[in-house]
Amino acid sequence: VRAGGSLIVEADAARFGTPAGDILSEVLGVADRGKTGQPAQYISDLDRRLRTNMGEDELIVEGEACRVEATTAKPLAFLRYEFATRSPDKNIMINLPPARSRSDDPAVTLNRFGRGQAMYLACPLVANELRNHKSRWDDAREFPMQLAENLARFMIPRPLLPGSTPPGVEVVINAGDNRHVVHLLNNYATGQHIDNRRGLLKLANVPVALNEQRIGPVKRAFSLDYATNRKVELPLRRNNSWAETNIAEMSVYEIIILEH
């Protein structure tokens, strides 16, 4: 971070009270004040730069949050606590208890450290929150995912990837001599990762784009034909600083080679 990098730390990942946590406290510009003791809270007064596609209501996050004090960091959002204790029992008249007034406990902070910047998210925004619907375990919540995207885009003004690849496709990029190798793994085909037979779950026209301001100009793009072990040239398009191509059909794993 001191050399110009960006860092986002979430809740307990700060490891407060440990030697690593002491270092992170300085980098993050916050001091540990314990836990909130609440099973859920709202993210309130979110900075306008982080509100893209967040809707009108304040975001409810489940899971105990950390209470911190901003020392050198600037708060970008605050915690708002629920008025009554949350209960797993259903109530016909009240679904979620009304919220109290906004607290002074930061929910999101930003700290300048050296030439870089570090962000702290005091509440958990992880798989438990993203996929914790009581009725459907596989129903991902839209707004926590959107907030995570907004935080990342805020911290990385020149991203390497624009996020156009489907969310279930893992992307890993390796840099080599005059080329970049892009590995794509289809996580929608969970349980089928050792089986690449035709007829399994496939994705069509999977888009991939990389920022040429980060990797340099791309001259050609290839995929690998596993049957013949030959490179197959892919169409290459440019959209401002983005070099774009796509995989026509993807089962479990594909590779793209970008030559400079």
pLDDT of residue 49: 94
The CATH code that applies to domain 169-259 is: 2.60.40.1180
Domain ranges in the chain with CATH number 2.60.40.1180: 169-259
Is a pLDDT exceeding 90 seen at residue 90? no
Residue with the bigger pLDDT between 128 and 241: it is: 241
Is a pLDDT exceeding 80 seen at residue 169? yes
Closest alpha carbon to 75 in 43, 37, 40, 36: 43
pLDDT of residue 38: 84
pTM metric for this prediction: 0.71
Closest alpha carbon to 70 in 114, 118, 129: 118
Residue 179: which region, alpha, beta or left (left: phi > 0; alpha: psi -120 to 50)?
Answer: beta
Q: Residue 168's pLDDT band (boundaries 50, 70, 90)?
A: confident
Domain ranges in the chain with CATH number 3.40.50.880: 6-155
Is a pLDDT exceeding 60 seen at residue 60? yes
The CATH code that applies to domain 6-155 is: 3.40.50.880
pLDDT of residue 181: 95
CA distance 142 to 136: 14
Side by side, the strands of the sheet bearing 242-250 are: 203-211, 242-250, 237-239
